[in-house]
Chains A and B, each alone.
Chain A
Amino acid sequence: MEDYKFLFKVVLVGNAGVGKTCLVRRFTQGLFPPGQGATIGVDFMIKTVEVDGEKVKLQIWDTAGQERFRSITQSYYRSAHALILVYDISCQPTFDCLPDWLREIEEYANNKVLRILVGNKTDREDREIPRHIGEDFAQRHGMYFLETSAKEAENVERLFMEIAVELMEQAKCKELPKYDGSLGPINGKTTSVGDTSCCLRS
């Protein structure tokens, strides 16, 4: 039934082993594969969600974190509507790589792409990156921020739903350009970033 109103492409990026595939599997199939092997190249999943009574189809491209696939994964950034940048809260190096990732996104992705920073594996006891550090980083770079646990299904649904809502809003704004013509998109964007990250902080 091809009755969805919107189609959005979401791409997950981040170092190898931070749990990108698990997030996607949890969201699309509702399961947590314990012995998930490393993704090769790119994986693809689809999920239709409902926002305000309208069907939104999410194409989720789950990229490999390994360095050697970087060239092919980069080619998927361009058409993305939203980029989820994932790190592992129990692994400092994955957080340290974030600036590199941002540089790559800057280079290959559309500059209006929606960017979300996700600290995964909140179920782990050995947290290395405090929540506020991640939040600060996200704020500095104009990203949304969320901490999730694919294992405990914590915030996973919410992550994708927020994305769907935000993207739909953006799409509607674009559909009705006369609605708020005087307000520049940048201005609108920054306020919305502030608002949402505040509300996400909970």
Chain B
Amino acid sequence: MSFVKCCFEAGEGHDFLDSFVQKCTDPGCCCGCCSALRPRYKRLVDNIFPASPQDGLVKSNMEKLTFYSLSSPEKLDRIGEYLFQKASRDIYRRRHGFVIIAMEAMDQLLLACHSQTLNLFVESFLKMVQKLLESTDPQLQILATQSFVRFANIEEDTPSYHRRYDFFVSKFSAMCHSNHGDTSTRDKIRLAGIQGLQGVIRKTVSDDLVENIWEAQHMDKIVPSLLYNMQSAEKYETVSCMETEARDGAEEEPPRLAECCLRELVGRASFGHIRSVLRPVLTHFDRHELWVPNDFAVHTFKIIMFSIQAQYSYSVVEALMQHVEAAGAGGAGEPRGRARVRAACAAVLSHIVAIAAADSVGPSVLEIINNLLTNLRASVARDSEKETDEKLYQEALINALGEFSDHLPDFQKIDIMMFIVNKVPSTQRGAKGTKADAMLQTILLKSLLKVGTTYKTTELSKAFPAAFLEALLRLAAAAAPPSRALLQRLLHTLLDRRHHAGLLRAPTVDYAELGLTVEKCSRQDLIFISKHGYAIFSSLYEGLQLESNTLENIETIYTTLALLCIELASEETICDIMQLILAIQQSSVSNPVLSVAQQCHLVAVSVALAALLPHVVLLPLDRLQDYIDKIIESRREEAPHLLPPLQPDYPQLGPAALPNKLPYLMIDQMAVCECLKACGVDASRLQSPSPYAAGAALALAHRHSWVEAGAAQGRDSLADIGAPPGAGLELDSAHSSPGVQRHAGSTQAAGVSLEALRRAAGGPSDAERRELERRRATLNNAFRTAPFHHLLTLTQPKYEIQEKLEEIFSSISEEPLLPASGACSPAGNTKSYQQSVPPYTKYFPELFLY
């Protein structure tokens, strides 16, 4: 029947016959002009071609061909081969119309046939596509790409082991970079190139048997081609996920399509393949110098982060971080340029790190943090201060750290802060650290502050686990003045639950108009403060006694104390706080190392804090308030320099205006006791001698080591040793959690560690001894050289002279005392030691505390 039809058609017009004859003049063609003698499939194929290419594919004959190939699939490969031969001949003769028809026919056959029969046909099909791609005509290239994409969307079920795609990857990548003179043609070719790459990716990515698309030789072509097209977009808008409306327009512009393709590629990457995508991305940015400005880099990395499988997102961060490191280590370009690139990289990092944070868990979090810190340290190590770019880089890294932790749950933030705190180099008190150490300290504290600001404190005991608190307090004493201020700011952010830090930036006495909101201190917080209060207070107290303090240091410590008052003030703690205030005031006259300005500051701070108390304790403290008001009033008249605001300097101050000359303007301990008693507060604790060593540094050098030793042991010993003797712990023991071992009053020192014993036996360390020597010298000097009337006024107040005497006395007797206590406990006999310590503290507290 087909024969008849064929003849019939052939007879239809002479034109057709002519062209047919023409076509068959090839030597490869077997049977001359008589179509009837040719194999059937060839006849069928020939018949789909019209006389003139403008007429397009002969539809009815195409259907016949399809039907034939479906009914006898074994012929499919021969049909394909024949079509390919015809087409390549047409390409050679530049009869593009027929080529297009041949391609169309192949497409239709491909779609119509079942996948299991396709295998051999596909070979011809791909050869055809390649042939078209090899031609220089953009039209044919685009046509070939479209066919290829159609093919790529077919799911084959038989694997093809020998099929190679490297030509396609190479060619499509080349097309992505098309530089055709005509812009619209250029865009079409580029678009086709991207579509082709997309096709290759789809075809190969899911099938392990075919070419491994993730190999470097392919990725090095695909990724830069996509990026090259993306970077030509006028503006970069990052959409968080593949939205449908974003996809609608995607077909028209190369940048959009390239973006889609990149998303798809990244989305399909498994863990092992992420690196092979990222490496070319990073090289591309280096080569094309796209880091500065970094808009495009941010855009691209956001895309990657959004489309990557969530569990792998941290590896992007990791890769970028390593790149930052590598950029720091070496690479081309002058150092300034490199530093800028590094800063830009880090900025990109800070943009994407937040996206990673949400999905990061466990070790990967710490790894990222650790990497960031390592980079910071490396940056500090190579830093020269004049380089502002290096500063920018550090800022960017710190920002990244902040961004990252901002997206972590709160309990992890504390972990991270602990982690960072442990990385801070500890400079021994008095010993001068290197400059790099100091810088690192500052930078790490900045990072800490950044993390800290993201933390929302609910309960103090959660915000300050014992080890963390201990590390912070140690730093508070050890660091350089600017670092100390930073540390106090960190404490502010962690303490400040009700946003008072801004109001209490500088000392003041007018609290009424600040509008402080005070709530009752919770049980848990009370437990916390009774456990750690002494350690915190004495650390802050100590912080106020340093001669290197600047105005900023004093103000920040004031803010910390004020915040503590607000957060924790209650009937139970008021005495402790008052005691501290009095001690601070006292130290302004008794500490010989302080400058005049610092003395004034301390007095002002103590009165400011005292004035705060009635405002924050939820008790009627009218008497106390009146008393403080009276003091403030009289100071206003006689000695305004003893009131806030603090001045950096008090130049016009005569010797008669010094705090020690004006004892009647000071807050009097007895008077305060009376006031408190009148208000119904049990002030007995206030009457007991101050646990804060009045001799300041002299004693603290010694005491500090005790606090440290105890703290090293963990929370309970810290609490027990740290708790001031005689301070009632009833609340503490009543609410102690079951797991925590507790020691009551007399067995306070039971938890003393071997370390502490050893320390005690060895006496003060060399550094401490030197310090001691120095202090003694200054003290002696002061007494030897100061004018008589000065000494007289200095020693005039009764309790002061006693104080001084004790100080001098104890400084002489201290050394024999301690070894003696150590000698009582040979080989660390804890029991005898226990017995030997408490008596001092209990029965001779003044002596013990100088």
Q: Which residues of A contact B (CB under 8 A)?
A: 1-2, 29, 37, 39-46, 59, 61, 64, 67-72, 74-76, 78-79
Contact = CB atoms under 8 A, between A and B. Distances in A.
B586 to A, nearest CB: 70
B131 A68 contact: no
B830 to A, nearest CB: 68
Interface stretch (B283-291, B398-406, B519-527, B679-687): B283-291
A44 B178 CA distance: 10
B224 interface: yes
Given A41-B174, A61-B174, A79-B217, A69 B179 contact: no
B220 A71 contact: yes
Interface in B496-523: none
6 contacts: A29-B136, A45-B136, A68-B289, A71-B220, A71-B280, A72-B220
B179 A76 contact: no
Contacts of A61: 170, 174
A70 to B, nearest CB: 6
Contacts of A42: 170, 173-174, 177
A75 B220 contact: yes
Nearest to A62: B174
B92 A1 contact: yes
A76 B173 CA distance: 10
Q: Which 7 A-B pairs have the closest CB atoms?
A: A41-B177, A75-B220, A72-B224, A42-B174, A40-B177, A46-B134, A71-B283
A68 B287 contact: yes
B84 A72 contact: no
Contact of B179 (A39, A59, A72, A75): A39
Interface in B278-310: 280, 283-284, 287-289
A50 B179 CA distance: 30
A41 B176 contact: yes
B287 A70 contact: yes
A37 B177 CA distance: 13
B753 interface: no
A71 B284 contact: yes
Interface in B151-208: 166-167, 170-171, 173-174, 176-179
Nearest to B85: A1
A2 B91 CA distance: 11
A125 B92 CA distance: 40
Contacts of A43: 174, 177, 179
Per DSSP, are chain B's interface residues mostly helix, strand or loop, or mixed?
A: helix
B88 A1 contact: yes
A200 B166 CA distance: 34
Contacts of B177: 40-43, 64, 69, 72
Interface string B687-725: 000000000000000000000000000000000000000
B228 interface: yes
B776 interface: no
Contacts of B88: 1-2
Contacts of B179: 37, 39-40, 43
A46 B92 CA distance: 13
Nearest to B227: A72
Of the candidates A37, A44, A67, the one having the most CB atoms from chain B within 10 angstroms of its own CB is A44
Given A41-B224, A59-B167, 9 more contacts: A2-B85, A37-B179, A41-B173, A43-B177, A44-B134, A44-B170, A71-B283, A72-B173, A72-B225
Of the candidates B84, B85, B170, B280, the one having the most CB atoms from chain A within 10 angstroms of its own CB is B170
B221 interface: yes
B623 interface: no
A64 B176 CA distance: 13
A2 B123 CA distance: 13
Contact of B288 (A59, A68, A78): A68
Contacts of B280: 71
Contacts of B23: none
